[in-house]
Amino acid sequence: VTALGCGQQLRSKGKMMLGKDRSFGFPVQGGLLQRYAKAPMSLRMCASSTRTDYDTEQLRLLDADECIIVNEKDEVLGHGSKKFCHLMENIAADKALHRAFSVFLFSKDGKLLLQKRSDDKILFPKRWTNTCCSHPLYNDDELDNPATDEAAGVKRAVVRKLEHELGIKVGSVPIEGIEYMTRIVYKAAVGEDDKWGEHEVDYILLAVADVTCDLNPNEVSEIKYISKEELPALLAQEEKGELLLSPWFKLVAQKWLPVWWDAMLENRIPDCKDTATIHIL
């Protein structure tokens, strides 16, 4: 399965100007993706516009990373470039549902590590979010086919991206200590750049470890730890427009995070797992 087309590119001072996109070809094994009619569009709208000036490294990753395309049951249908999977035209055509992960890393004293996504990011820049959010790739190490309760491939992707984005060395967060909690399906548009969006089966994972970070500024601009008591104030700041949160973090924070946080503090995370359910948000 292939997704073709990478857009015309003009370089300018370390950025690329995207010209008119070429058409995308997307044959899918076993028929077309079914329509996900029940999934609402979750929007955090800013002034709508379409950027044309993008960071070159972020554009490279859009073409280099092959995401895992799935159906509403999280069954693997094929793969497509990160660019294909995040163009709103493909999301609107129900062609781009893909696997993702969101990991929540707690320190041993019970605080949650948050990151602020870099200004260079094409997808949801400048948002505060959970520790790390990305995609398992369509390769032998990270493809769980079929999906399993162990989610071993997803966990390997978590370790890879913790190092890439935050400089957390491999082994600092043992893979056997990463807890797969549940899956959510959501849609979201990048409000200030209407070319891009998300439609994901997002694996939510928790881990506890004390780590040293060495930020990749192309991915992360800031980090901070918050306590459970500080979470309501963070959500209130977003509601008042004082900061931006990623849509997936906000959904998880409102629905599950306080309960999971208590379970983490009380050493009973396994009691809260629900790996059989795919929650449509």
Residues near 110 by beta carbon (within 8 Å), at least 6 away in sequence? 227, 228, 261, 264, 265
Q: How far apart are CA 220 and CA 193, in angstroms?
A: 19
Q: Are residues 154 and 101 in contact, defined by beta-carbon separation less than 8 angstroms?
A: yes
pLDDT digits (tens, 9 = 90+) for 111-164: 999 999 999 999 999 999 999 999 999 999 999 999 999 999 999 999 999 999
Confidence of residue 50 (pLDDT cuts 50, 70, 90): low
Tell me whether residue 114 is exposed, middle or buried, using C-beta atoms within 10 angstroms of its C-beta: 0 to 12, 13 to 18, 19 or more.
Answer: buried
State pTM to two decimals: 0.82
- Cα torsion for 272, 99, 174, 252, to the nearest 10°? -40
Indicate whether 187 pLDDT > 90.
Answer: yes
Q: Indicate the SS3 state at residue 177.
A: helix
Tell me what pLDDT residue 224 has: 98
Q: Indicate the SS3 state at residue 250.
A: helix
pLDDT digits (tens, 9 = 90+) for 228-250: 999 999 999 999 999 999 999 99
- Which residue, chain included where needed, has tokens 């059989």? 276
Angle, helix 257-265 to helix 247-255, in steps of 10 degrees:
60
Residues noted as catalytic: 133, 200
Indicate whether 94 pLDDT > 60.
Answer: yes
Chain CA centroid to CA 81, Å: 15
Q: Are residues 208 and 179 in contact, defined by beta-carbon separation less than 8 angstroms?
A: no
Q: Are residues 112 and 226 in contact, defined by beta-carbon separation less than 8 angstroms?
A: yes
Q: Are residues 69 and 77 in contact, defined by beta-carbon separation less than 8 angstroms?
A: yes
Q: How far apart are CA 224 and CA 237, in angstroms?
A: 15
- Which residue, chain included where needed, has tokens 């983490």? 264
Alpha-carbon radius of gyration of the chain: 18
Q: What percent of the chain has pLDDT over 70?
A: 81
Q: What percent of the chain has pLDDT over 90?
A: 78
Average pLDDT on 152-180 reads 97
The DSSP string of 31-56 is: SPPPP-TT-PEEEE--S-----EEEH
pLDDT digits (tens, 9 = 90+) for 202-231: 999 999 999 999 999 999 999 999 999 999
Q: How far apart are CA 237 and CA 150, in angstroms?
A: 36
Residues near 277 by beta carbon (within 8 Å), at least 6 away in sequence? 182, 183
Q: Are residues 242 and 141 in contact, defined by beta-carbon separation less than 8 angstroms?
A: no
